[in-house]
Amino acid sequence: SKNAGRNQFHFFTRSMQEQAWHRITMMGELRNALPRKELQLYFQPVVELASGRVAKGEALLRWMHPQKGMLLPSEFIALAEESGLIHEFGNWVFMQASAWSKRWTELTGTLFQVSVNASPVQFMQRKRALHWGRYLSELGLAWNSMSVEITEGVLFNTSSSTAEQLLDMRDAGIQVAIDDFGTGYSSMAYLKRFDVDYLKIDQSFVRGTAPNSTRRTIAETIIVMAHKLGLKVIAEGVETPEQRDWLQHAGCDFGQGYLFSQPVPPEEFEQLLSLHSPA
Ligand code: C2E
Ligand code: CA
Ligand code: CA
Ligand code: CA
């Protein structure tokens, strides 16, 4: 009724109205971000612990907002998911990252894999809409040039479209990594079923941890288990040489974190690669 509506209005505090207005404004700006070329990819190196070599890179999305400056994913990915813009963004990220993989493979003379993050929402489409495999063959990219990072929840989504899209990616030579591993509902059976290639140990098991802590014991157990299943392990949030040494000793394959580098623009990332120098 009219009265109920009026009463309800009083429950909206001034800050809630401001929040709603802020969301609507951001949504409009986000819609224009791609055509206005405000989205940018940063890259963070993934280091092979045994050699110290930059072996791979992870693409991380940034929004260069004309007034607010550089915005992190935590400030706009949820909005992109709610609005459906994430599909467009995700395809753009994949295509950009593929082009960089191609360039860095040529520059280094060895396959240089780039990974992208995919939101669970991107898999929730009725059609098999992620034509990433076809795109890779058009670009002429080699098998394993790209890897897609998904969270454990995606594997637990029992919808057939999620399973089909994961299998489509595998058939196209795109590798799969489980992101933030250890924070969700882990099932070994799913790792095998979807032929997952990498486990990324969540930062909470690495950064700020003390030697002999429970968190480190869990990380060490994940590494042993992953290797028995034939998966490679990437540790996230490596911030100190002590953490790196512990992980290497525990048999972890790759490390990623501020110790090696923060995420940087592609031009800066290129400086971190060991390039072929003409003889
Ligand atoms: P993530 O995939 O777990 O990415 C790692 C995050 O940890 C990045 O934050 C990175 O900057 C940060 N990080 C890396 N090393 C360290 C370290 O040593 N210490 C600390 N404290 N932090 C570290 P970022 O770039 O803000 O990204 C946050 C999340 O946003 C990502 O978490 C990912 O889930 C999501 N995201 C990023 N790019 C995309 C994208 O293109 N699409 C989608 N759907 N999600 C994305
Ligand atoms: Ca990730
Ligand atoms: Ca695989
Ligand atoms: Ca992560």
Provide the whole-model pTM.
0.93
In the prediction, which pLDDT does 102 show?
96
Q: What is the DSSP letter of 277?
A: P
In the prediction, which pLDDT does 61 show?
98
- pLDDT by residue for the chain (279 residues), tens only, comes to 445 555 555 566 678 888 888 889 999 999 999 999 999 999 999 999 999 999 999 999 999 999 999 999 999 999 999 999 999 999 999 999 999 999 999 999 999 999 999 999 988 876 666 678 888 888 899 999 999 999 988 887 767 778 888 888 888 999 999 999 988 877 777 787 788 999 999 999 999 999 999 999 999 999 999 999 999 999 999 999 999 999 999 999 999 999 999 999 999 999 999 765 544
Judged by its nearest atom, the ligand closest to the C-alpha of residue 206 is 1
Site to probe by mutation for ligand 1, drawn from 46, 114, 115, 117 as the one with most ligand atoms within 8 Å of Cβ, is 117
Q: Is 73 in the pocket of ligand 1 (CB under 6 A)?
A: yes
In the prediction, which pLDDT does 1 show?
46
Distance (Å, whole) CA 104 – CA 141: 12
Q: What is the DSSP letter of 130?
A: -
CA proximity to 254, closest of 227, 275, 277: 227
- CA 84 to centroid of ligand 4, rounded, Å: 22
| Cross-strand pairs, 235 | 201, 255
Distance (Å, whole) CA 113 – CA 248: 21
Helix ranges restricted to H, the chain: 2-11, 14-33, 77-83, 85-108, 132-139, 152-156, 160-171, 188-193, 214-228, 241-249, 266-271
